[in-house]
Amino acid sequence: MTATPIRVLIADDHPVVRVGLRNMLQADPLIEVAGEARDGVEALELARSLRPDILLLDLAMPIVAGMDALREMTSGNLETRTVVLTGLIDNRQILEALQLGARGVVLKDAAVEHLSACIRAVMQGQYWLDGRPVQNLVQVLRDLAAQTAPPPRKTFGLTARELEVVTLITEGCTNKDIAKQFGISEETVKRHLTNIFNKLGVGNRLELALFALNHHLLPVT
Amino acid sequence: MPMNETILASVVFDQLQQAMACDPPGFTELYRDYLADAGQALEALHDAVYRRQAGELRARAHHLKGSSLVLGAREVALCAAALEESGQSGDLQGTSAMVDRTRQALREVEAELASRLGFAVIPAEKTGAV
C-alpha cells in the first residue's frame, strides 16, 4: 500500500522559480505538485478549486500580495496549510505571517535543502522556522513579539503621574480638568506641572505638548 | 574542480541536479531559462537606473533576486538585493556600478554553468557575453 501523496500548490510569480520548486518537490515520492499559480488571485482561486494540502506561497506577488493572500486563506476556512517562501524576511514579518496562519517559513536560498522536510513536518502538525521544526510555538511567538516590540518609552525622569499629566495636557485639558480626573487639587496639578517643566526644560503648555510629540512621550494607542 | 560557492552554491546545484537526475536535459533547460531571464532582467535594471525609475528597479531586482536565490546564484542574488533596497529607498546613487557588478556576477555564473553543463546551458540568443 502506498501513502497518499501530499498535494502542494506552488504560488510564485517567477516562472523559473516555479519550475525549480516543482522539480525539487517532484523528487520527493511523498509529494505531488497539484498546481502552480502566478499571482495572489490565482493562488486563492486554485487553493479553493484544487484543495491542496499545502500552499507554498511567495510573499511578494503581484495583484494580491502574499500576506493578503494568506489573510484570505485563513478567513476562507480552507484546510490547506500555508508555507511562506521568501527571499528575506524580518522577525516582524515572520510574526505577522504566523499570526495570519502560516505554518512554516522557508527562505528561497534554502528551499532545495529544507522544503521537502518543511512540508512533511507541517503535514504532521508541526510548525517550521529557521530551517527546523518548531517544538514550542508559544515560546517562539513570545520571543518574536519581544524582539519586534517598540523600544520602551523614554521618560526623561518623569514619574508615572507626571507622564499622565503630560498626556492630558496634550489633549487640551485644563488644570481643573486634570485635578478632577485624578481626584487631586489644582495646586497639586500646578506642582506636577512645575516639576515637568523643570525636568524637560520647557516654559509653557504649548512647548510641553510639542516636546511630548517630538520625543514620543505619549502612550502608543 | 571545486565550485566557486559565492558564485554558485554547490549545495543547491548538486541537490537540484540530484532531484532532476531522471531529466538531465530538463536540468540544463532550467538553468538556461534562468540565464535568459536574468539577462533580460539585467537589461531592464540598466534601463531603470538610466531612467531613474526606482519602482521599476525595485520590482525587477526583486524578480532577479528570487530566481537567483532558488537556483543558488548567490552573488547575483546579493547584488539584486542591494538594487532592490536602492529602489525601495529611492536613493539610486551607486546603482549603475551595482548593475555592472551584477552583470559581472552573472557572467561568472554563466561560465560556471557552462563548465558544469556544457554550452547547451547558454541561451540560444546569446554567445556567452551577458
B18: closest chain A residue by CA: A27
> Would you call A27 and B20 a contact, using CB atoms and an 8 Å cutoff?
yes
Tally of CA atoms within 13 A in the half-sphere of A87 that contains its CB: 26
**Residue indicated by cell numbers 515637568:** A196
Which residues, at least 6 apart from A95, have a Cβ–Cβ distance to it below 8 Å? A141, A144, A145, A148
Locate B12 and state its grid cell.
543547491
Provide the percentage of residues in chain A whose pLDDT is more than 70: 90
What is the distance between the alpha carbons of residues B20 and A21, in angstroms, rounded to a whole number? 11
Across the range A85-98, mean pLDDT stands at 81
Q: Yes or no: say if B7 and B66 are a contact pair by the CB < 8 Å rule.
A: no
User: Span A160-214: which CATH code?
Assistant: 1.10.10.10
Band of the pLDDT at A2, cuts 50, 70, 90?
low
Among A27-41, A110-124, B75-89, B113-127, name the one with the lowest average pLDDT.
B113-127
Average pLDDT, chain B: 90
What pLDDT, on the 0 to 100 scale, is given for residue A90?
75
What pLDDT, on the 0 to 100 scale, is given for residue B78?
93
Band of the pLDDT at A30, cuts 50, 70, 90?
very high
Q: What is the ipTM of this complex?
A: 0.84
- Residue A132 belongs to what H/E stretch? strand A132-134
In chain B, residues with a C-beta closer than 8 Å to the C-beta of A111 are 69-70
Mutate to test the interface with A, among B8, B23, B35, B69 (most CBs of A within 10 A): B69
Across the range A89-109, mean pLDDT stands at 85
Q: DSSP of B83-94, one letter per residue?
A: HHHHHHHT--TT
pLDDT of A1 above 60: no
pLDDT digits (tens, 9 = 90+) for B96-118: 999 999 999 999 999 999 999 99
Which residues, listed in sequence order, are joined to residue A83 by a DSSP beta bridge?
A56, A104
Based on its alpha-carbon atoms, the radius of gyration of chain B, rounded to whole angstroms, reads 15
Among A147-151, B16-20, B42-46, B97-101, name the one with the lowest average pLDDT.
A147-151
What pLDDT, on the 0 to 100 scale, is given for residue A87?
83
> Would you call A109 and B66 a contact, using CB atoms and an 8 Å cutoff?
no
- Residue A94 belongs to what H/E stretch? helix A91-99
* CATH fold group of domain A6-148: Rossmann fold (3.40.50)
Which residues, listed in sequence order, are joined to residue A37 by a DSSP beta bridge?
A11
Band of the pLDDT at A151, cuts 50, 70, 90?
low
The domain limits of chain A are 6-148, 160-214
Sheet of A31-37: strand order equals: A31-37, A6-11, A54-58, A81-86, A104-107, A127-129, A132-134
Higher pLDDT pick, B65 / B124: B65
What is the distance between the alpha carbons of residues B85 and A188, in angstroms, rounded to a whole number? 53
Q: Which own/partner contact pairs does A113-119 have at CB distance under 8 Å and 24+ positions apart?
A: A113/B11, A113/B12, A113/B15, A115/A21, A115/A24, A115/A25, A115/A56, A115/A83, A115/A85, A116/A24, A116/A25, A116/A27, A116/A28, A116/A31, A118/A83, A119/A6, A119/A8, A119/A25, A119/A28, A119/A31, A119/A54, A119/A56, A119/A83
Highest mean pLDDT, choosing among A92-96, A116-120, A159-163, A196-200 = A116-120
- Phi first, then psi: give them for residue B60, nearest 5 degrees: -65, -40
Domains and CATH numbers, chain B: 10-117 (1.20.120)
CA A189 to chain B, closest CA, distance in angstroms equals: 46
What is the distance between the alpha carbons of residues B126 and A211, in angstroms, rounded to a whole number? 62
Band of the pLDDT at A210, cuts 50, 70, 90?
confident
pLDDT of B129 above 50: no
A19: closest chain B residue by CA: B30
> Would you call B74 and A19 a contact, using CB atoms and an 8 Å cutoff?
no
pLDDT of A165 above 60: yes
Between A and B, how many CB-CB pairs are < 8 A?
73
Which residues, listed in sequence order, are joined to residue A106 by a DSSP beta bridge?
A85
- Residues of B near A (Cβ–Cβ under 8 Å) read 9, 11-12, 15-16, 18-20, 23, 26-27, 30, 33-34, 37, 62-63, 65-67, 69-72, 74, 77, 81
In chain A, residues with a C-beta closer than 8 Å to the C-beta of B39 are none
What is the distance between the alpha carbons of residues A155 and A163, in angstroms, rounded to a whole number? 8
Higher pLDDT pick, A139 / B102: B102
pLDDT of B20 above 60: yes
pLDDT digits (tens, 9 = 90+) for B54-102: 999 999 999 999 999 999 999 999 999 999 999 999 989 899 999 999 9
> Would you call B30 and A16 a contact, using CB atoms and an 8 Å cutoff?
yes
What is the distance between the alpha carbons of residues A38 and A128, in angstroms, rounded to a whole number? 24
A28: closest chain B residue by CA: B19
Predicted TM-score (pTM) of this structure: 0.73
Across the range B21-40, mean pLDDT stands at 94
In chain B, residues with a C-beta closer than 8 Å to the C-beta of A107 are 69
